[in-house]
Amino acid sequence: MTELSLAKTSREGGHRAASRHGLAFSRFAVSLVLTFIGLTAVTFVIGRVVPIDPVVAIVGDRAPVETYERIRRELNLDEPVVVQYILYLKQILTGDLGTSVLTSQPIVKDLLRFFPATIELATIGLMIGVGIGVPLGVWSSVNQGSVLDQIIRTVVLVGYSAPVFWIGLVGLMVFYAKLGWVGGPGRLDFFYENLVETKTNMILVDTALAGQWDIFRNAVSHMFLPAVLLGMFSLAYIARMTRSLMLDQLTQEYIITARVKGISETAVIWRHAFRNVLVPLITVIVLAYAQLLEGAVLTETVFAWPGIGLYITNSLFNADINAVLGGTIAIGLAFVSLNLLSDLLYRFADPRAL
C-alpha cells in the first residue's frame, strides 16, 4: 500500500511539473505572438508617419503621374490603413520584406548578409564584457566600501555613461591614426577585400575556415576597437548587476553559517554565493547581449562596420524606408526573442519561478 501511495504521489508530482512547464511554454508562445504583432504595428506606423514618400523614393520626383499612381497601387498605398497593415503583416509572415532601393536586392537577402557581421561583433563584445565584468562585480561586492570598490564603481559609471560616438572617434584617432596599433574602419584592409570565400558572413569565422591566418589577424586588428567599445558598455552593465546580486547573497544567513564553519573565503564567495547568483546572472547576460545587438548602430557607423546598424543608417539617409523597416524588424525580433529566452531560461533554471 505504501509503495502504491509513493508511486501515485510520484505520478502526481510529475503531472504537476509537466503542467507547470506546459503553462510556462504557453505563456512564452503567447508573449512572442503578441510582441510580434506589437512590433510589426510599430514599424508599420513608423513607415506611414515619416515625412518620406516611398513611391517618390522608388520612381523619383520627376516620374510621370501614371507611373507614380501605378507604383502606389502596387505598394497597396491606395487601400485603407487597416487593410494596408493586414497586407503588410501577411507579407512579413511569408518572409517578404520588400526590395531595397539602395542595393536593389531583396531585403531578406541584405539582412542575411549584414546581420551576421553585427552578431559577430556583439558576440565578441559580450565575451569581453562577461570575462571582465563578472570578476569586477564580484571583487567590488566582496570589497564593499574599499578603495578597490570605489575604483571599480567609477570605471563602471564611466563605461555606462560615456558617449559611444566620441569614444569611438578618440579611439580611432589615438590607436589607429597616431599609434597604428589597430586596424582602421571596416573589417579588412582594402587589399584583403574579396580574397576570402564568404560562407557565414562572419569575417573571423570565414577566414579561419579558409585557413587564411594573415587575413584573420588583419580582421582581428580591425575588430579590436569596436569590440572593446561594445565590450566596455556590456562590462559596465554586467559588473554593476553582478555586484548588486552578490551583495544581496553575501548578507544571507547561509553565508554567515559557512563562514562560522570555517570554510575558506574563496569557497564561500565562488562556491556558495556566486553559485546562487548564476541563475539571475544568466538573464543579465542575455539582456546585455540583446542590448549590444540593438545598440550597435552608432558603433558600426563610427567604424564603418558593415553590419545591420550601418545598413539601417545608410538606408535612412537614402530614403530607403523598406530597408529601414526591415532592419528594425530584424533587430526588434532578435531583442524580443532574447528577452523571452532569458525569461524562459530563468524559469527552467529556477523551478520556483514557474
Q: Which helix (H) or strand (E) holds 316?
A: helix 308-317
What lies within 8 Å, CB to CB, of 190 at 6+ separation is none
- DSSP of 46-109: HHHHSS--HHHHHH-TTS-HHHHHHHHHHTTTTS-HHHHHHHHHHHHHTT---B-TTT-SBHHH
What lies within 8 Å, CB to CB, of 126 at 6+ separation is 230, 231, 234, 285, 288, 289, 292
Instruction: Quickly tell me which residue has 590607436 as its cell.
Output: 175
Q: How far apart are the C-alpha atoms of 322 and 214, rounded to whole Å?
A: 38
User: How does pLDDT run across 114-149, given as a tens digit for each residue?
Assistant: 999 999 999 999 999 899 989 998 888 888 878 888
Res. 14: pLDDT tops 80: no
Q: Indicate the DSSP class of residue 305.
A: -
- C-alpha grid cell, residue 46: 513608423
Res. 254: pLDDT tops 70: yes
User: How does pLDDT run across 284-314, given as a tens digit for each residue?
Assistant: 888 888 888 876 777 888 888 888 888 888 8
User: How does pLDDT run across 189-235, given as a tens digit for each residue?
Assistant: 888 887 888 888 888 988 998 888 998 999 999 999 999 888 888 88
Q: How far apart are the C-alpha atoms of 211 and 277, rounded to whole Å?
A: 40
For the chain, percent of residues with pLDDT exceeding 90: 5
What confidence score (pLDDT) does residue 6 get? 45
CA dihedral angle for residue 317, residue 320, residue 324, residue 330, rounded to 10 degrees: -140
What lies within 8 Å, CB to CB, of 313 at 6+ separation is 297, 300, 301
Say how far residue 55 (Cα) sits from the centre of its chain. Answer: 32
User: How does pLDDT run across 199-208, given as a tens digit for each residue?
Assistant: 888 889 889 9
Q: Are 296 and 309 in contact (CB under 8 A)?
A: yes
Number of other CB atoms surrounding residue 132 within 10 Å = 17
Q: How far apart are the C-alpha atoms of 295 and 236, rounded to whole Å?
A: 14
Res. 340: pLDDT tops 80: no
What confidence score (pLDDT) does residue 158 get? 76
For the chain, percent of residues with pLDDT exceeding 70: 89
Res. 9: pLDDT tops 60: no
Boundaries of CATH 1.10.3720.10 in the chain? 107-353
Mean local confidence (pLDDT), 302-331: 84
What confidence score (pLDDT) does residue 2 get? 54
Q: Which fold has domain 107-353?
A: MetI-like fold (1.10.3720)
User: How does pLDDT run across 70-121, given as a tens digit for each residue?
Assistant: 877 877 777 787 888 888 888 888 888 888 877 878 888 899 889 999 999 9
- DSSP of 228-241: HHHHHHHHHHHHHH
Which amino acid belongs to residue 315?
Answer: S
